[in-house]
């Protein structure tokens, strides 16, 4: 272990006790402990409560302590009408959606009391719908139909300002659309045609990532400013059928999915700060066709999905600065 005398001149603050709320990356010398201390960002997944029924590709919304999950599928059956609410510990059944559907796992729009689902598929094969539904915390009501019918799409935003991007119609599409709480309108096309991608952020500051195009999984990301799509940095791990979390795209998270070839479910997690993607801790269970939520890059939910069969498990992602002693001996 080094001494303060050896470190003097290196702009490391000397204190008698550790700061109460250190910032991520902060470093200091504790004279009482005679040790260098640092506050790294510690990010990890932990087990949460299970859905009341295992299913995949439902729509996610809300936060880590007030989550919402709607629709989904348990093959070989059609899309379910079930919705569930999460309180940070357990899932409970809510009122049913009006149109059973699945293939909406890349959408993360709205809150637990102002949720939004759109598009998707009702049964195996191409049986897609353009239906939109809004949730008020108690019941679901039908909104305006999407301008273009699409499933395995991505999207995000809030109940009165959302976007969708990509998906299949039934072939892969580069379509994007905007919702203002009343009407859907077609927007400018995304740059890379794909399905089974994820979207997070807002209608004027969103990001899409991953997805499936001919040949396998994509690592492409694109940002949206409310008018046009711009290519962003590539994911570290190419994948499709992934999900994510983020109220703003400059603090977003993507996780899970599948890559082909070779066919393999993914547990990898990556965060985006507006400039680059950073590898975070892996999920405990590698899975595809899972759902995320409109949480943050430091507090997210991964819900349900598919491994060898549909799963009901939830994982909670948390990231926070914590104090560590640096060994420089």
For 138-147, the pLDDT digits (tens) are 999 999 999 9
Q: Using pLDDT thresholds of 50, 70 and 90, give the confidence band for residue 54.
A: very high
Beta-sheet pairing, 41-47 with 35-38: unpaired
pLDDT at 211: 97
Q: Do residues 8 and 83 share a domain?
A: no
Q: Which two tokens stand for residue 177?
A: 């659309």
State the average pLDDT over residues 75-97. Answer: 96
On whether residue 327 sits in a domain, the answer given is no
Q: Do residues 95 and 200 share a domain?
A: yes
pLDDT at 131: 98
Please check the confidence at residue 1 and state whether its pLDDT lies above 50: no
Q: Do residues 181 and 254 share a domain?
A: yes
On whether residue 108 sits in a domain, the answer given is yes
Q: Using pLDDT thresholds of 50, 70 and 90, give the confidence band for residue 320.
A: confident
Q: Are 243 and 289 in contact (CB under 8 A)?
A: no
Identify the residue whose tokens are 């949720």: 115
Top pLDDT among 262 and 285 is at 285
Residue-range definition of the domain harbouring residue 33: 4-39
On whether residue 282 sits in a domain, the answer given is yes
Q: Do residues 250 and 133 share a domain?
A: yes
Q: How far is CA 260 from the centre of its chain?
A: 21
Q: CATH number for the domain including 250?
A: 2.120.10.80
Q: Do residues 166 and 252 share a domain?
A: yes
Taking Cα atoms as reference points, which of 308, 311, 302 lies closest to residue 69? 302
Task: Give one DSSP letter per residue of 108-135, joined into a string.
Answer: EEB-SSSEEEE--BSSSSS-B---EEEE
Provide the 3-class DSSP secondary structure of residue 6. helix
State the average pLDDT over residues 144-158. Answer: 97
Lowest mean pLDDT among 57-66, 67-76, 314-323: 314-323
pLDDT at 171: 95
Q: Do residues 143 and 22 share a domain?
A: no
DSSP 3-state helix, strand, coil percentages of the chain (rounded to 5)?
0, 40, 55
State the average pLDDT over residues 178-188. Answer: 98
Burial environment of residue 278 by CB neighbours within 10 A (0 to 12, 13 to 18, 19 or more): middle
Q: Do residues 18 and 146 share a domain?
A: no
Q: Do residues 99 and 11 share a domain?
A: no
pLDDT at 124: 93
Q: Do residues 98 and 232 share a domain?
A: yes
pLDDT in tens, 201-246: 999 999 999 999 887 899 999 999 999 999 999 999 999 999 999 9
DSSP H or E segment with residue 92: strand 91-93
On whether residue 329 sits in a domain, the answer given is no
Taking Cα atoms as reference points, which of 81, 86, 63 lies closest to residue 313? 86
Q: Do residues 125 and 152 share a domain?
A: yes
Task: Write down the mean pLDDT value for the chain.
Answer: 92
Q: Do residues 28 and 120 share a domain?
A: no
Q: Do residues 172 and 142 share a domain?
A: yes
Top pLDDT among 110 and 329 is at 110
pLDDT in tens, 3-23: 545 555 557 888 999 887 676
On whether residue 148 sits in a domain, the answer given is yes
pLDDT at 8: 54
On whether residue 183 sits in a domain, the answer given is yes
Structural domain count, the chain:
2
**Polymer length in residues for the chain:** 329
pLDDT at 26: 79
Please check the confidence at residue 152 and state whether its pLDDT lies above 60: yes
pLDDT at 208: 98
On whether residue 325 sits in a domain, the answer given is no
pLDDT at 319: 86
On whether residue 154 sits in a domain, the answer given is yes
Give me the long-range contacts of 21-25 (CB less than 8 A, separation at least 24).
22/321, 22/323, 23/321, 24/321, 25/321
pTM over 0.75: yes
Q: Which residues pair with 171 in a beta bridge?
A: none
């Amino acid at each position: 272990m080094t001494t303060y005398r050896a470190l003097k001149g290196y702009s490391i603050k000397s204190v008698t006790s550790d700061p109460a709320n250190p910032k991520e990356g902060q470093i200091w010398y504790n004279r009482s402990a005679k040790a260098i201390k640092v506050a790294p960002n510690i990010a990890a997944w932990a087990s949460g409560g299970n859905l009341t029924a295992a299913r995949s590709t439902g729509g996610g919304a809300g936060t880590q302590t007030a989550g919402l999950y709607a629709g989904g599928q348990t093959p070989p059956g059609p899309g379910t009408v079930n919705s569930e609410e999460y309180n940070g510990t357990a899932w409970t059944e809510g009122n049913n959606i009006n149109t059973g559907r699945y293939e909406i796992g890349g959408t993360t729009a709205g809150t637990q009391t102002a949720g939004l689902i759109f598009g998707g598929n009702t049964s195996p094969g191409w049986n897609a719908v353009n239906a939109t539904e809004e949730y008020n915390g108690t019941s679901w009501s039908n909104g305006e139909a999407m301008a273009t019918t699409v499933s395995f799409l991505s999207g995000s935003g809030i109940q009165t300002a959302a976007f969708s991007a990509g998906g299949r119609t039934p072939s892969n599409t580069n379509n994007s659309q905007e919702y203002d709480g009343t009407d859907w309108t077609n927007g400018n096309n995304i740059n890379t045609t794909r399905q089974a991608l994820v979207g997070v952020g807002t209608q004027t500051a969103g990001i899409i990532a991953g997805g499936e195009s001919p040949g396998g999984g994509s690592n492409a990301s694109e940002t949206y400013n409310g008018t046009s799509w711009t290519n962003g940095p590539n994911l570290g791990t190419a994948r499709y059928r992934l999900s994510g979390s983020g109220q703003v795209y400059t603090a977003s998270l993507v996780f899970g999915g599948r890559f082909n070839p070779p066919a393999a479910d993914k547990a990898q997690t990556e965060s985006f700060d507006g400039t680059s993607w950073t590898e975070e801790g892996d999920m405990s269970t590698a899975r595809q066709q899972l759902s995320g939520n409109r949480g943050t890059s430091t507090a997210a939910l991964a819900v349900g999905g598919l491994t060898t069969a549909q799963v009901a498990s939830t994982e909670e992602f948390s990231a926070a600065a914590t104090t560590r002693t640096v060994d420089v001996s």
